[in-house]
Amino acid sequence: DAGVIQSPRHEVTEMGQEVTLRCKPISGHDYLFWYRQTMMRGLELLIYFNNNVPIDDSGMPEDRFSAKMPNASFSTLKIQPSEPRDSAVYFCASRNRVPNTEAFFGQGTRLTVV
């Protein structure tokens, strides 16, 4: 398996534009997580899915953020409209259903909003 695949690796956009980040989890994994990493706040869990269903989105900062998982092999995180404070590295991770197994992370998307 190629691991968790995120695209794009880098995104630069202007304030007010819509941004869509994409993630392909490892095949067979039941859980998918979206994290945001910044210098100030560290690694924050935004939302996670179990079998394509959102379970906990309490970490989503505000209504400008939305996430979907239309099928087991694809998820998106959308920011509309984007703001400079959304600049961060966004990670997707996936994990199988067994609790003692680790989460596998993608390489991340570095988002810069100017």
Partner 1 sequence: AQSVTQLGSHVSVSEGALVLLRCNYSSSVPPYLFWYVQYPNQGLQLLLKYTTGATLVKGINGFEAEFKKSETSFHLTKPSAHMSDAAEYFCAVTPNNAGNMLTFGGGTRLMVKP
Residues that bind partner 1 (CB under 8 A): 4, 31, 33, 42-43, 45, 48, 50, 56, 91, 93, 95, 97, 99-100, 102-108, 110
Task: List CB contacts of 17: < 8 A, sequence separation 6 or more.
Answer: 81, 82, 113
CA neighbor of 20 nearest in space, from 85, 106, 111, 105: 111
CB of 30 to partner 1, least distance (A): 8
Task: List CB contacts of 86: < 8 A, sequence separation 6 or more.
Answer: 19, 64, 79, 111, 113
CB of 16 to partner 1, least distance (A): 27
Nearer to partner 1, 55 or 114 (CB): 55
Q: Is 85 helix (H, G, I), strand (E, B) or coil?
A: helix
Nearer to partner 1, 74 or 105 (CB): 105
CB of 107 to partner 1, least distance (A): 5
